[in-house]
A and B are shown apart, each in its own frame.
Chain A
């Protein structure tokens, strides 16, 4: 045992002395942080600018501006509601619309929200009940900004607007702000339903739907009035809308969304297992090839048995892999609790599975045993190869066999599919079991399946240790050509007495 630990410690130190090891260790959390933050920089920061040239009296322009404003306020109210629901802050004002999450907010709800002071008043109420660990609510920026029509455009005839609007939609100069949408409501609107829209790109469907809704209501009101309905009744009829009661899973808490969030950690474990295995496995392989090509093995084997050497290498490499994972997870936990905003919002709900001992045990078991089951393949390859070039010949097919089904498996889990036939099959094939079980832990995998696959994986790993152990022992001092399959089989079958 002492020799095994000595070999493991040397293996660990050798890998830890490599620059690539430390680079990898830093790059992974860095890329996750960049991945979490980057979208904030990529997302469009400015609202779309909208100009309405209303030549039918100005009522349509006001209605469109009002509707866009209500929609932005509804979005803010919705965001606030999700925030309150996620952090259980309803007690701040149970009567407020943002404390009720059971419906699609109507215009009346938005009006009530605005009348009671909007986001700033709500934040003041929430501040009284929220604890220090709860992040501040940050409303999303308004989607649209209605800009006034410049005097130069007021007098331009409808037919000349195509030319006149060009510099408005695509102005010259770096600092000039373009107008994203220009709507022309002609003087004859009402008699004719024609309205023109210019956009400096493909118009957003939600924007078109909003404009269409506002103008349809007006046309409908005019029509009803023309049919003899009183103006008030006609307006009321146009404004009739269903009160939509909706049920959604609470953020990070229910159904598919909750399961996906809970899957982040197990999925990350499966992904990290794959990454750390590929990296540390190839480092271990390099070490073994170095021992062979540097003619070191005989000296080592005079002091330690091939079994001690093999177990030591596996232990050392598993130590490297687990150290990498520990560092990455520590970075994640640090980021979750030491930072606010995007990173913590992303990570904190994902750490929920760590509150379940069963999940922790399952994750650790499948991680460690899975590590050994696959790392031993790399070890056997190293023992059969005189150079890295030799090793590549075995390595590529093995890596492809391991990785290709895993990427399919992860896609399936990310798609919320936890029980497909393919997933079931992959989960029960020992070489993919660790990835299958880890990936499915968050989505829910039956306990019997976890235990069954766990036992099968242990049996497979034990068989690997015996059979590949023989191959390792027989290959250590073997010389000559790279062994083919029949030579490998004969080495596995040959038991030294």
Chain B
């Protein structure tokens, strides 16, 4: 059973289609990356999941139920645009959101205090938000999302605006939640975070799904590349689409950047080398970065439109 399912969901604002026929599902315990550029429809999709806005068409199921505030006790949410009540103390703020998520006052305060302690803010629990530094306030915001130990944690561009220390803290919390069995869905356009954290990815462009799968499956979307050191030009080998000479390595051999034809695994090329007695000093597969995949898929989609 999936934790989150969207079936053919669309959302239209006046003449703009923000989300177009989007379908995907998220399995329990997964860290699911929701990737896309600005205006791709990520925030709109997440708002629909939280019932902050309603879809124009399609079906959404969250934790086996329709979207709604009844799910709030099991959901943690950190929006892209974050803020806090300036006159409330750190602990009261976390306690307030805990209570809005159905916790008792005592439980919310206890969990809030534990989170502040873990984030190094125990001494500031009674400090009003307007007196906290930006970094401290960011930790308090994260604590409001985690206070109810959610089964589903939804983070909208969680790394934007965070300093490197808090980025690390957030990554640790995402891993901690995942290890504890929670499902994490987060949107981002910073590919490094998704690469480090996500089990599965969904690439969105102009409101439409362009890709869904694992990181390896995403990389497979790009033609494989091999770094080769050889005396001869590898382009004469079968299955090689092109080979770019990168110069001599200093000992009479040359470095080559080899691009394979689509769908050809690098092992096949190695076999050809052996069969054709093609002399090699180095043969190394170069993995495509998620950034490259993103630019390849989303860039092509946006160019097409």
> For A449, what are the chain B residues with a Cβ–Cβ distance below 8 Å?
none
Whether B100 pairs with A6 at a CB distance below 8 angstroms is yes
Asked, given contacts A477-B53, A496-B53, whether A302 binds B75 with beta carbons under 8 Å apart, the answer is: yes
CA distance A294 to B87 in the complex (A): 12
Asked, given contacts A295-B79, A295-B82, A295-B83, whether A300 binds B100 with beta carbons under 8 Å apart, the answer is: yes
- CB < 8 Å neighbour of B79 from A291, A298, A304: A298
> For A300, what are the chain B residues with a Cβ–Cβ distance below 8 Å?
100
Query: Does A464 have its Cβ within 8 Å of any Cβ on chain B?
Result: no
Between A14, A290, A294, A305, the greatest number of chain B beta carbons within 10 A of the residue's beta carbon is seen for A294
Whether B86 pairs with A301 at a CB distance below 8 angstroms is no
Query: Does A10 have its Cβ within 8 Å of any Cβ on chain B?
Result: yes
Whether B85 pairs with A299 at a CB distance below 8 angstroms is no
Q: B-facing mask of A288-323, CB < 8 A → 1, else 0?
A: 001101111011111111001000000000000000
Query: Does B97 have its Cβ within 8 Å of any Cβ on chain A?
Result: yes
Query: Does A230 have its Cβ within 8 Å of any Cβ on chain B?
Result: no
> For B141, what are the chain A residues with a Cβ–Cβ distance below 8 Å?
299
Interface residues on B, range: 20 to 34
CA distance A293 to B81 in the complex (A): 10
- CB < 8 Å neighbour of B52 from A6, A294, A301: A301
Q: How far is the CB of B35 from chain A (nearest CB, A)?
A: 20
Q: B-facing mask of A459-497, CB < 8 A → 1, else 0?
A: 000000000000000000100000000000000000011
Query: Does A3 have its Cβ within 8 Å of any Cβ on chain B?
Result: yes
CA distance A211 to B258 in the complex (A): 126
Query: Does B54 have its Cβ within 8 Å of any Cβ on chain A?
Result: yes
Of chain B, the residue at the smallest CB distance from A300 is B100
CA distance A246 to B165 in the complex (A): 90
| B232-268 CB contacts (< 8 Å) to partner A | none
Of chain B, the residue at the smallest CB distance from A302 is B77
Asked, given contacts A3-B69, A496-B53, A497-B54, whether A299 binds B77 with beta carbons under 8 Å apart, the answer is: yes
Query: Does A248 have its Cβ within 8 Å of any Cβ on chain B?
Result: no
> For B53, what are the chain A residues with a Cβ–Cβ distance below 8 Å?
477, 496
| B48-104 CB contacts (< 8 Å) to partner A | 50-54, 69, 72, 75, 77-79, 81-88, 96-97, 99-101
- CB < 8 Å neighbour of B81 from A14, A298, A496: A298
Query: Does A17 have its Cβ within 8 Å of any Cβ on chain B?
Result: yes
> For B85, what are the chain A residues with a Cβ–Cβ distance below 8 Å?
10, 14, 290-291, 294, 296
> For B54, what are the chain A residues with a Cβ–Cβ distance below 8 Å?
496-497
Whether A303 pairs with B100 at a CB distance below 8 angstroms is yes
Query: Does B187 have its Cβ within 8 Å of any Cβ on chain A?
Result: no
Whether B82 pairs with A477 at a CB distance below 8 angstroms is no
Q: How far is the CB of A84 from chain B (nearest CB, A)?
A: 57
Whether B69 pairs with A296 at a CB distance below 8 angstroms is no
Of chain B, the residue at the smallest CB distance from A301 is B52
> For B101, what are the chain A residues with a Cβ–Cβ distance below 8 Å?
303
Q: How far is the CB of A317 from chain B (nearest CB, A)?
A: 16
| A341-383 CB contacts (< 8 Å) to partner B | none
CA distance A150 to B101 in the complex (A): 91
Whether B84 pairs with A302 at a CB distance below 8 angstroms is no
Between B50, B79, B86, the greatest number of chain A beta carbons within 10 A of the residue's beta carbon is seen for B79
Interface residues on A, range: 20 to 34
> For A477, what are the chain B residues with a Cβ–Cβ distance below 8 Å?
47, 52-53
> For B47, what are the chain A residues with a Cβ–Cβ distance below 8 Å?
298, 477
Asked, given contacts A294-B86, A295-B79, A296-B83, whether A6 binds B96 with beta carbons under 8 Å apart, the answer is: yes
> For A496, what are the chain B residues with a Cβ–Cβ distance below 8 Å?
53-54
Of chain A, the residue at the smallest CB distance from B68 is A305
| A1-47 CB contacts (< 8 Å) to partner B | 3, 6, 10, 14, 17
Query: Does B144 have its Cβ within 8 Å of any Cβ on chain A?
Result: yes
CA distance A192 to B64 in the complex (A): 114
- CB < 8 Å neighbour of B87 from A17, A296, A303: A17
> For A14, what are the chain B residues with a Cβ–Cβ distance below 8 Å?
85, 87-88
CA distance A300 to B79 in the complex (A): 10
| B284-302 CB contacts (< 8 Å) to partner A | none
> For B97, what are the chain A residues with a Cβ–Cβ distance below 8 Å?
299, 303
Whether B87 pairs with A3 at a CB distance below 8 angstroms is no
Q: How far is the CB of B182 from chain A (nearest CB, A)?
A: 16
Q: How far is the CB of A343 from chain B (nearest CB, A)?
A: 36
Whether B84 pairs with A294 at a CB distance below 8 angstroms is yes
CA distance A293 to B52 in the complex (A): 18
Q: How far is the CB of B209 from chain A (nearest CB, A)?
A: 23
CA distance A6 to B99 in the complex (A): 8
Q: How far is the CB of B40 from chain A (nearest CB, A)?
A: 17
CA distance A298 to B80 in the complex (A): 9
Of chain B, the residue at the smallest CB distance from A477 is B52
| B13-66 CB contacts (< 8 Å) to partner A | 47, 50-54
CA distance A496 to B50 in the complex (A): 15
Of chain B, the residue at the smallest CB distance from A17 is B87
> For A296, what are the chain B residues with a Cβ–Cβ distance below 8 Å?
83-85
21 residue pairs from A and B, CB less than 8 Å apart: A3-B69, A3-B100, A6-B96, A10-B96, A14-B85, A294-B86, A295-B81, A295-B83, A298-B52, A298-B77, A298-B79, A299-B82, A299-B83, A299-B97, A301-B50, A302-B50, A302-B52, A302-B75, A303-B100, A304-B100, A477-B47
- Extra inter-chain contacts (11) besides given A302-B52, A303-B100, CB under 8 Å: A3-B100, A14-B85, A17-B87, A290-B86, A295-B81, A295-B83, A299-B79, A299-B82, A299-B144, A301-B50, A308-B69
List the 9 shortest-distance A-B pairs measured between CB atoms, nearest first: A294-B83, A295-B81, A303-B100, A298-B79, A295-B83, A302-B77, A296-B83, A303-B72, A302-B50
